[in-house]
Amino acid sequence: MMDNKMIVEGSLESTDKGFAFYGRLPYYRGLGLSMIEDIQITVDGELIPRADVRFHVRGKTYTLDEMETVYDDRWNFGEKAKIIAMKPGGLPAGEHKVEFAVRMRVSYLPFVPTTKDTKVLALAA
């Protein structure tokens, strides 16, 4: 659910350290950060290594490994979190195909859902 609303349109930005966009949790509620099992970012077909992904929300930045033991912070319902890819040099201006996948551990589900969204985002020069 909300699959096609995960990546926030027009939110792609780039610096010399990497690139970032705003992402929302594809769910009808929020989730404590320890239950975000994985976030995968692919840009123009290139998968960003897990260790190079950062999650930033309300002034705090976490690595995915750190998030696994964060019990006092959340990714709220509909909340736009900054999804950061550490990638020296960032991205060149122009259009980029961004794929964003989130794997969640949901207590009541008899499976572990992964939901993804793919969008072409423009990066201004």
Partner 1 sequence: MPIKRGVSLYSFQNETFQGKMTLEDCIRTCAEMGANGIEVIGEQSFWGWPEQEVDPAEIENWHHLIAKYECVPVSHDFMLDYKRYKGREMPFEEQVASVRKDIDFGARLGVKYLRALVSIAPEVLVAAAPYALEKGLKILIEVHAPLHFDHPWIIRHAEAFEKSGSDALGFLPDMGMFLHAFPPIWKEKFLRLGVPQNIADYVVKAYEDRVLSEYVILNVQQMGGVGPAIAMAETLRHNAAFEPKRMLDYMPRIHNIHGKFYEITADASGTYAEPSIPYDEIISVLKQGGYDGYICSEYEGNRWIEDAMEPDSVEQVRRQQVMLATLLGEPAPQMRAAA
C-alpha–C-alpha distance, residues 52 and 5, integer Å: 24
Q: Nearest distance from residue 113's CB to partner 1, in Å?
A: 12
Q: Nearest-5° angle of CA 105, CA 9, CA 80?
A: 45
User: What are the tokens at 115?
Assistant: 């939901």
Number of residues lying near partner 1 (CB under 8 A)? 27
Binding pattern to partner 1, positions 34-53, x when CB under 8 A?
xx-x----------------
- Three-state secondary-structure class, residue 48: coil
- Residue 92 or 107: the one with the smaller Cβ distance to partner 1 is 107
Cβ atoms within 10 Å, residue 22: 18
End-to-end C-alpha distance for the chain, whole angstroms: 34
Residue 3 or 95: the one with the smaller Cβ distance to partner 1 is 3
**Nearest-approach distance from CB 97 to partner 1, in angstroms:** 19
From the list 83, 77, 88, 25, the residue with the least C-alpha distance to 54 is: 83
Q: Quick one: which of 30, 38, 56, 113 contacts partner 1 (CB under 8 A)?
A: 30
- The Cβ of residue 39 has, within 10 Å, a number of other Cβ atoms equal to 20
Q: Does 68 bind partner 1 (CB under 8 A)?
A: yes
What's the min distance (Å) between Cβ of 108 and partner 1? 4
- The residues that touch partner 1, with contacts defined as CB under 8 A, are 1-5, 24, 28-32, 34-35, 37, 68, 71-74, 76-79, 105-108
